[in-house]
Chains A and B, each alone.
Chain A
Amino acid sequence: MTPTYYLVLSAALFSIGAVGVLVRKNAIVVFMCIELMLNAVNLSLVTFSRINGSLDGQIMAFFVMTVAAAEVVIGLAIIMSIFRTRRSASVDDANLLKY
């Protein structure tokens, strides 16, 4: 198996995540898409680690996961408070600040 496939997969996942951020309205889903992007990066890291023959990439993936977890905490808190106010988690509803 060529590790390159994993890289392509990772790029595809990253792109799907990015597109998801653009097309989905629900804040939670948008956020999940970002998580998808982060995990795509993890896949890349691990793959490169394999290609380069060093463990650094795999360790880095752990770091990323940790950071992602922290991000989730913050993110959900923010989304939650908005949801409680607006009774909606649609990112398009948060549209008071513009121009």
Chain B
Amino acid sequence: MSHVLFAAATVPTIKTPSIAYHAIAPILIVLGAALLGVLVEAAVPRRERFNAQIAVTVLGLIGALVAVGLLHNTSLTTPSPVGSSESFYGALSVDPAGLFLQGTVLALALMATLLISERSIEIGSPIVASAAVVVGSPDDKRLANSERVQTEIFPLLLFAVSGMLIFPIANNLLLMFIALEVLSLPLYLMAGLSRRRRLLSQEASLKYFLLGAFASAFFLYGLALLYGYANSVDLPAIFNAQRTSGKSDVLLYLGLGLVIVGLLFKASVAPFHSWTPDVYQGSPTPVAAFMASCTKVASFGALLRVLVIGFSGSTWDWRPIIWGVAIASMVIGAILGVTQTDIKRVLAYSSIAHAGFILVGLVAVTSDKGQSLASVMFYVLSYGFTTLAAFGLLMLVRDADGEATHLSQWSGLARKSPLVASVMTILLLSMAGIPLTSGFIGKFYVFRAAWHTAGPLVVIALLCSAVAAFYYLRIVVLMFFAEPPENAPTIAIPGWSASVALTTGVVVTVFLGLLPEPIVDLAVKAAHLRG
């Protein structure tokens, strides 16, 4: 694309570059499904709409997943020039690492879809029937108890997923920015679509939107500065410019800093984390699950690419930043989680802490031949499944106001439902990094990658995970060792869709703890970014 633009300035003829459509097929499939979803929304009668949307979404995601699977050996950048040109960089880089992350996003998104489409737990679905209706108005009350469901969320989700697919393979900062917006804008809306506690949901939506836009502005300004420095927003070009450009390094580092900030915001890394607890708490639970898993995968993918492709030459300059924000994330995530009373906020702080752990793995990403890259990819995958299942479980524990997320309501849960309590325990132990769960393997993997480069950071990370273990264990203590409260919540029986999602999450968590070999192998093989 940039070649095209550049060419336009000097040569009057425009050569159409060739696009490897097969390589971007997953993106196209999801986008196509999303558009189809919009059409369904317009054309299919309300009664059929829900099933139609689910079909479109699920098939779209599965199709994309299959496409990713078929592409697994691909490594190319696209578009590519028809003639030869010495400085042409494809805006999209379809490479093994990117495909791994895309596959992860798609799988997690599929599970999130299943959670969103759960209708047995609550009349309708966890999603508000009509977001436009004023909260508390008679219409709102009527709709809240009606069977009416809202289906716009599915196309929104698909659009977000398409953004997430582009995000980690964008080789061009502008494209990355657009992907960022494409994934964010639907999420802002989705955050506000909770069926219950709509005020909170709307507030979450507003906060997420304002802060997200604020962060985008930083990203964009960084992009502009880098453009000024390198005369291109292609990552390889920026990398090359660092050796050749005569411009002031201030531009480079200001730009790098601001771009990183934009990405760290999405990944909910401290000190850019402050939206996370509020938004997770306010959002509909399946949406929070979607954000906590998929967004994280995508944004770390983007961060990896920026650092490895664009800035592996200045590793020593940005490494202190990663150290700093990693420590900040782990410490804030661990310590602030200790006194939380809402289980969704606990998971949010856990997510912040985990972002820190992932960053630990990321420290050595430019210097160790793919080990770090593989470890980060493995970590986001295992964490994604675990956290998604954990959020999904929250949907099952309910009282009259919807989900019972206050910790005190979880006490004695094992009496009521040993199964839910046991499953939650497995997930929490995984988050705490106890062996025989995927969390342990993930932690081991990232820490091993970082050990040589950042030994002290690993020790800090381990100590933080000990602190964080406190709040996971506290939930276990409550569920198993405490007496149930007076107004004990009820346990809803999930329908097939949520059951499938939850089972998958737990099975993956345990499986990756016992036999991680296949996925580790996959990550190792995929640990390759193409500039």
Instruction: Give A contacts to B, CB under 8 Å.
Output: 7, 10, 14, 17-18, 21, 27, 30-31, 34, 37-38, 40-41, 44-45, 47-49, 51-57, 59-60, 63-64, 67, 70-71, 74-75, 77-79, 81-82, 84-86, 91, 94-98
Asked whether, in the complex, the Cβ of A44 is within 8 Å of the Cβ of B200, the reply is no
Q: How far is the CA of A85 from the CA of B199 in the complex (A)?
A: 8
Question: How far does the alpha carbon of A82 sit from the alpha carbon of B201 in the complex, in Å?
Answer: 10
Q: Are A91 and B210 in contact (CB under 8 A)?
A: yes
Q: Which A residues lie within 8 Å of B225 (CB)?
A: 44
B167 within 8 A of A: no
Contact of A31 among B2, B203, B207, B210 (CB under 8 A): B210
Q: Which residues of A contact B177 (CB under 8 A)?
A: 63-64, 67
Q: Is the CB–CB distance between A60 and B203 below 8 Å?
A: no
B278 closest partner in A (C-beta): A97
Contacting pair B206 A41 (CB below 8 A): no
Q: List 4 additional A-B contacts (Cβ < 8 Å) besides A47-B228, A74-B189.
A: A44-B225, A94-B206, A96-B203, A97-B200
Contact A55/B224 with A74-B185, A75-B209, A97-B282 known, Cβ cut-off 8 Å: no
Question: Is B231 interfacial (CB 8 A cutoff)?
Answer: yes
Determine the distance from Cα of A55 to Cα of B279 in the docked complex, in whole angstroms. 39
B8 at interface, CB cutoff 8 A: yes
B136 touches A45 (CB 8 A): no
The residue among B192, B198, B216, B279 with the most chain A CB atoms within 10 A of its own CB is B216
B-side contacts of A44, CB under 8 Å: 221, 224-225, 228
Q: How many angstroms between the C-alpha atoms of A78 and B131 in the bound complex?
A: 10
Interfacial chain B residues near A79, Cβ < 8 Å = 206
A85, B200: Cβ atoms closer than 8 Å:
no
B202 pairs with A63, CB closer than 8 A? no
User: Can you list 9 A-B contacts (CB < 8 A)?
Assistant: A14-B221, A34-B217, A44-B221, A54-B5, A56-B227, A60-B227, A71-B185, A75-B210, A97-B281
Residues of B near A94 (CB, < 8 A) are: 202-203, 206-207
Chain B, range 339-393, C-beta contacts under 8 Å to A: none
Given A55-B8, A57-B227, are A97 and B207 also a contact pair (CB < 8 Å)? yes
- Asked if B272 lies at the interface with its beta carbon under 8 angstroms from chain A, I say no
**A21-B214, A78-B189, A84-B134 given as contacts; is B206 within 8 A of A59 (CB)?**
no
Which residues from A are CB-within-8-Å of B232?
Answer: 56
* B277 / chain A contacts, CB cutoff of 8 Å: 97
Interface check B122, CB cutoff 8 A: no
Known: A31-B213, A44-B225, A75-B209. A64 touches B220 (CB 8 A): yes
Which of B134, B205, B217, B227 touches A38 (beta carbons < 8 Å)? Answer: B217
A13 to B136, CA, bound (A): 40
Are B278 and A91 within 8 A (Cβ)? no
Closest chain-B Cβ to A23's Cβ sits at a distance in Å of: 13
How many A-B contacts if CB must be within 8 Å?
Answer: 140
The residue that B6 contacts in the complex, of A47, A54, A78, with Cβ under 8 A, is A54
B210 touching A27 by the CB < 8 A rule? Answer: yes
Q: Measured between alpha carbons, how far is A40 from B131 in the docked complex, in Å?
A: 33
Please tell me if the beta carbons of B213 and A91 are within 8 angstroms of each other in the complex. no
Closest CB in chain A relative to B355 CB, distance in Å: 20
Residues from chain A with a CB closer than 8 A to the CB of B221 are: 14, 37, 40-41, 44
Please state if B174 and A63 are interface contacts (CB–CB under 8 Å): yes
Given A17-B217, A67-B178, are A56 and B2 neighbors across the interface (CB < 8 Å)?
yes
Contacts of B228 in A (CB 8 A): 7, 44, 47-48, 51-52
- CB of B400 within 8 A of chain A? no
**Are B189 and A77 touching (Cβ within 8 A)?**
yes
Does B447 have its Cβ within 8 Å of any Cβ on chain A? no
Whole-angstrom distance between the Cβ of A60 and the nearest chain B Cβ? 5
Question: Is B181 engaged at the interface, CB distance under 8 Å to the other chain?
Answer: yes
- Cβ-closest chain A residue relative to B173: A60
CA distance A98 to B282 in the complex (A): 10
Contact B209 A78 (CB under 8 A): yes
Chain B's nearest CB lies how many Å from the CB of A12?
A: 12
Partner of A60, one of B9, B174, B210: B174
**Chain A residues near B188 (CB, 8 Å)?**
74-75, 78
Query: CB of B106 within 8 A of chain A?
Result: no
Interface string of B130-162 (1 = CB under 8 A from A): 011011100000000000000000000000000
Contact B227 A55 (CB under 8 A): no
Closest to B186 in A: A74
